[in-house]
C-alpha cells in the first residue's frame, strides 16, 4: 500500500514539474512573439512557435509580400520562428539600413542550415570575413576585366542564334522562352566563369547544364523545412541546403579539378574562376573600418587599380575553400537573375510591339555595322543608348531578381524609426512590393520605359529602385549581369522580332512558389527573323 502511495506521489510531482516546464515554454514563446506589440508596432499575427514566415514555405513570395503590404502598410513586424522581423518600405529608412548605418546592418539574415562550403560565400558570410572576401573579390569585376569577356559572351549568343534558327524551322517559331534562355545563360556561366565549353542544344543531356538546373530544384518538403524548422531539427534531418546534394558536389569537384589544372598551366584563361585565384588586396584595406569602393556600380565604368593593389608587400588572398564556395555562388546568382531578366524582357516586348519597334530602331541606328566584339559596341550598350537602358531598367523594376532583401541588426540597442531593435532582429526590404508601389511608380503594373529616360530622372524617388540591392553589400556581380543582359538583348532584338501566340502566351506571368528568387512559370513566344 505504501509503495503504491509512494509511486502516486512521485508521478504527481513529475506531472507537476512536466506541466510547469510546458507552461514555462509556452509563456516563453508567447513573450518572444509579443515583441512588436510591446513596442506599439503593427504586426502580422504569428503562428505559435512557427512565426509568420511559415507562409513563405507554401506560396509565391511576390504575392505574399504584396498582400501583406496592402494590409499592414509600409512598416510592420513579423517573426521568423521566434526572431522578430521588421518590414520597411520608406525610402529614408531604406537609406539608413543600406547606406547611412550600414555598419549596424552589415549582415544578411543567417541561414539555419549549414554546409562548410556553402556558408563561406559572399552571400552568407558574416562581418569581417565578408569584408575580407568582398575587398579581395571586388577588383575582379572592374570594367577592363569584364570587357575582356565580351568575345566569350558573344560566342554564346552565336550558339543561341543557331538554336533560334532550328526552332524557327522545326516548330514554326514557337519558342519555349525560359528554357532556351536558361540554356544560354548557363552557357555563359560555363564559358565566362569556368572556361568550360558546352552546347545549349544538348539541353539536359549536358552534365554541366543538368547539374546547374539541379541547384534550383528542391522537394516541397525540403523547402518547407528550410523556412519553418528550427536549426537543430534541420541538423537532425541532415538538411544542409535547399538544392540536391548531388548537384552541389558536382560543382565542388569540378572547381577543385579546374583549380588543380590551373596550377600547372603556363597560359591560364581569363575567366571568373581565374580572376578569383589571382585576386589579392592590401592587408590595410581589409583591416580598416572603411566600406568605400565596395559597392558595385551599374552604369559608371570602374577603373582598374591593379597597380595600386599590388604595391603592398602584405596581401590577402582567398582560400581554396572560399574560391570553390564563391564560384558556385556566382553560378547560382548569375544563372537565374540574367536568365529571368532576358526572358521577362522578351515577354514584355512581345506584348508591347510599339516599344519593341522603337527599341529596334535605336539599336539599328547606333549599332548597325559595328563589330559586336569591339570596344565601341561594348561602350554603347553599356553606357549609352538611353531607350535601351530604360527598357532593361523597367524590366528589372517589374521583375526584380530577388523578392525580399534582408539585413540583420548587428549591434545592441539600435533603433529604426524610433523603434528599439535588439541584436539579430531581421530587416525585410520587399523589393518587388517597393517596385510595384504606386507612391513611387504611378500605374506600377504598366510597362513604361519612359520612367527611366534621362528627362524623367528627377521624377524617380531615391532608394526605391534596387534590383541588385544597394550599398556596400549589393550584388558584386551586377556589372557582369548587366553586361550579359545588354550584350545578349541588343543582338537578339537587332536580329529577331517576338510576338505573342494567341491562346498560348499568358497575359500575366505566374510566379513559382517557395522561392526568394523571382522565378516565373514557363511561357511561349513566337520568334520571327527580321
Instruction: Enter the pTM of the model.
Output: 0.90
The alpha carbon of 385 is separated from its chain's Cα centroid by a whole number of angstroms, namely 26
Q: What pLDDT is attached to residue 149?
A: 92
Taking the alpha carbons of 32, 33, 36, 40 in that order, is the dihedral positive or negative? negative
* CB neighbour class for 373 (10 Å; exposed up to 12, middle 13-18, buried from 19): middle
Please compute, for residue 324, the number of CA atoms within 13 A of its CA located in the half-sphere on the CB side.
21
Helix (H) or strand (E) segment spanning residue 165 = helix 150-170
Q: How far apart are CA 179 and CA 190, in angstroms?
A: 17
Helix (H, G, I), strand (E, B) or coil at 409: coil
Q: What pLDDT is attached to residue 196?
A: 81
How do strand 524-529 and strand 496-499 relate by DSSP bridges? antiparallel
Q: Which domains does the chain have, with CATH numbers?
A: 33-529 (1.10.630.10)
Q: How far apart are CA 179 and CA 181, in angstroms?
A: 6
Q: How far apart are CA 100 and CA 111, in angstroms?
A: 25
Residue 478 contacts residue 468 (beta carbons within 8 Å): yes
Q: What pLDDT is attached to residue 496?
A: 97
Q: How far apart are CA 456 and CA 192, in angstroms?
A: 36
Query: Residue for cell digits 504598366?
Result: 446
First vs last Cα of the chain: how many Å apart? 99
Residue 319 in grid coordinates:
582560400
H helical segments located in 215-319: 220-228, 231-236, 245-262, 272-278, 283-287, 306-309
How do strand 426-429 and strand 83-88 relate by DSSP bridges? parallel
Residue 75 contacts residue 42 (beta carbons within 8 Å): yes
Residue 111 contacts residue 516 (beta carbons within 8 Å): no
Digit-by-digit pLDDT tens for the chain (530 residues) are 666 776 666 677 767 777 777 877 888 788 889 999 999 999 999 998 889 988 887 889 999 999 999 999 999 999 998 999 999 999 999 999 999 999 999 999 877 777 777 778 898 898 988 999 999 988 888 888 899 999 999 999 999 999 999 999 888 899 999 999 988 998 999 899 888 877 655 555 677 877 877 777 767 677 777 767 777 788 788 777 777 778 888 888 988 998 888 888 888 888 888 988 888 877 666 666 777 778 887 755 444 444 444 444 467 888 888 998 898 888 888 888 899 999 999 999 999 999 999 999 999 999 999 999 999 999 999 999 999 999 999 999 999 999 999 999 999 989 999 999 999 999 999 999 999 999 999 999 999 999 999 999 999 999 999 999 999 999 999 999 999 999 999 999 999 999 999 999 999 999 998 888 898 999 999 999 99
Q: How far apart are CA 240 and CA 154, in angstroms?
A: 37
Query: Residue for cell digits 549582415?
Result: 107
Amino acid at each position: 500500500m505504501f509503495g503504491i502511495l509512494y509511486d502516486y506521489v512521485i508521478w504527481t510531482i513529475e506531472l507537476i514539474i512536466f506541466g510547469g516546464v510546458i507552461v514555462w515554454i509556452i509563456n516563453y514563446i508567447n513573450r518572444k512573439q509579443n515583441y512588436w506589440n510591446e513596442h506599439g508596432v503593427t504586426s502580422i499575427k504569428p503562428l505559435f512557435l512557427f512565426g509568420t514566415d511559415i507562409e513563405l514555405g507554401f506560396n509565391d513570395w511576390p504575392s505574399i509580400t504584396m498582400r501583406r503590404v496592402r494590409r499592414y502598410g509600409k512598416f510592420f513586424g513579423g517573426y521568423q520562428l521566434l526572431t522578430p522581423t521588421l518590414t520597411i518600405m520608406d525610402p529614408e529608412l531604406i537609406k539608413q539600413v543600406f547606406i547611412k548605418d550600414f555598419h549596424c546592418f552589415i549582415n544578411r539574415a543567417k541561414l539555419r542550415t549549414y554546409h562548410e562550403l556553402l556558408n563561406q560565400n559572399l552571400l552568407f558570410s558574416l562581418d569581417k570575413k565578408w569584408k575580407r572576401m568582398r575587398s579581395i573579390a571586388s577588383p575582379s569585376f572592374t570594367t577592363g576585366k569584364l570587357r575582356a569577356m565580351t568575345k566569350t559572351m558573344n560566342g554564346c549568343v552565336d550558339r543561341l542564334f543557331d538554336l533560334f534558327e532550328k526552332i524557327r524551322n522545326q516548330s514554326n517559331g514557337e519558342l519555349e522562352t525560359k528554357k532556351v534562355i536558361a540554356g544560354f545563360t548557363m552557357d555563359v556561366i560555363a564559358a565566362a566563369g569556368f572556361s568550360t565549353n558546352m552546347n545549349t542544344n544538348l539541353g539536359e543531356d549536358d552534365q554541366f547544364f543538368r547539374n546547374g538546373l539541379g541547384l534550383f530544384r528542391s522537394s516541397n518538403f525540403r523547402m518547407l523545412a528550410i523556412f519553418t524548422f528550427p536549426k537543430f531539427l534541420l541538423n537532425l534531418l541532415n538538411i544542409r541546403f535547399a538544392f540536391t546534394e548531388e548537384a552541389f558536389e558536382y560543382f565542388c569537384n569540378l572547381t577543385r579539378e579546374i583549380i588543380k589544372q590551373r596550377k600547372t598551366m603556363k597560359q591560364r584563361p581569363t575567366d571568373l574562376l581565374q580572376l578569383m585565384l589571382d585576386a589579392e588586396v592590401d592587408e590595410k584595406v581589409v583591416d580598416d573600418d572603411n566600406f568605400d569602393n565596395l559597392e558595385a556600380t551599374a552604369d559608371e565604368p570602374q577603373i582598374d587599380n591593379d597597380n595600386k593593389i599590388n604595391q603592398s608587400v602584405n596581401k590577402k588572398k582567398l582560400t581554396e575553400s572560399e574560391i570553390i564556395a564563391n564560384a558556385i555562388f556566382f553560378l547560382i546568382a548569375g544563372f537565374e537573375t540574367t536568365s529571368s531578366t532576358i526572358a521577362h524582357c522578351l515577354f514584355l516586348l512581345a506584348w508591347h510591339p510599339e516599344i519593341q519597334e522603337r527599341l529596334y530602331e535605336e539599336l539599328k541606328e547606333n549599332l548597325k555595322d559595328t563589330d559586336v566584339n569591339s570596344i565601341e559596341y561594348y561602350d554603347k550598350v553599356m553606357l549609352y543608348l538611353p531607350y535601351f537602358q530604360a527598357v532593361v531598367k523597367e524590366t528589372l523594376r517589374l521583375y526584380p531578381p530577388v523578392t525580399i532583401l534582408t539585413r540583420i541588426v548587428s549591434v545592441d540597442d539600435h533603433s529604426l524609426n524610433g523603434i528599439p531593435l535588439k541584436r539579430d532582429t531581421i530587416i525585410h526590404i520587399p523589393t518587388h512590393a517597393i517596385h510595384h508601389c504606386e507612391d513611387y511608380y504611378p500605374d506600377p503594373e504598366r510597362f513604361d520605359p519612359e520612367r527611366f529616360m534621362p528627362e524623367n530622372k528627377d521624377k524617380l524617388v531615391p532608394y526605391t529602385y534596387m534590383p541588385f540591392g544597394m550599398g556596400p553589400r549589393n550584388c558584386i556581380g551586377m556589372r557582369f549581369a548587366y553586361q550579359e543582359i545588354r550584350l545578349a538583348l541588343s543582338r537578339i532584338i537587332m536580329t529577331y522580332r517576338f510576338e505573342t501566340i494567341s491562346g498560348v502566351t499568358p497575359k500575366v506571368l505566374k510566379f513559382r512558389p517557395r522561392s526568394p528568387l523571382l522565378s516565373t512559370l514557363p511561357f511561349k513566344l513566337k520568334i520571327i527573323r527580321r
